[in-house]
Amino acid sequence: GENVEQHPSTLSVQEGDSAVIKCTYSDSASNYFPWYKQELGKRPQLIIDIRSNVGEKKDQRIAVTLNKTAKHFSLHITETQPEDSAVYFCAAMYYGQNFVFGPGTRLSVLP
């Protein structure tokens, strides 16, 4: 089955700096890679996603890159703000049905 690794497990940045979170996956059949943000006590919410036929996608301060050959994808957040503090999960969808989440990254944006 699919296995998703995510690094780092915790990340602290100063407000205004950039944050980068990296994920790797094992199953080359995976073709959809979403990123979820989960604040304490809240539901996971999709912040950006990328399909396997695209190498990069950007939405304002958030961007995701995908390297299919190396089987890794990354989340980039620029100009971080305190409200970006949360746990971020990457995920890989395989066989068109399953979601396998990475273990998560706890991001703290320090004022």
Partner 1 sequence: DTEVTQTPKHLVMGMTNKKSLKCEQHMGHRAMYWYKQKAKKPPELMFVYSYEKLSINESVPSRFSPECPNSSLLNLHLHALQPEDSALYLCASSQETLAGDEQYFGPGTRLTVT
Where do contacts with partner 1 occur on this chain (CB under 8 A)? 31-32, 34, 42-46, 49, 51-52, 89, 93, 96-104
| Cα 20 to Cα 26: distance, rounded to the nearest angstrom | 20
Alpha helices (H) along the chain: none
Of 92 and 109, the one with the shorter C-beta distance to partner 1 is 92
Q: Which is nearer to partner 1, 37 or 74 (CB)?
A: 37
If the CB atoms of residues 78 and 100 are measured against partner 1, the closer one turns out to be 100
Q: Are 31 and 51 in contact (CB under 8 A)?
A: yes
- Among 50, 71, 62, smallest CA distance to 21 is for 62
Closest separation in Å from C-beta 23 to partner 1: 11
Give the nearest distance from C-beta 30 to partner 1 in angstroms: 8
Strands 45-51 and 72-77: unpaired
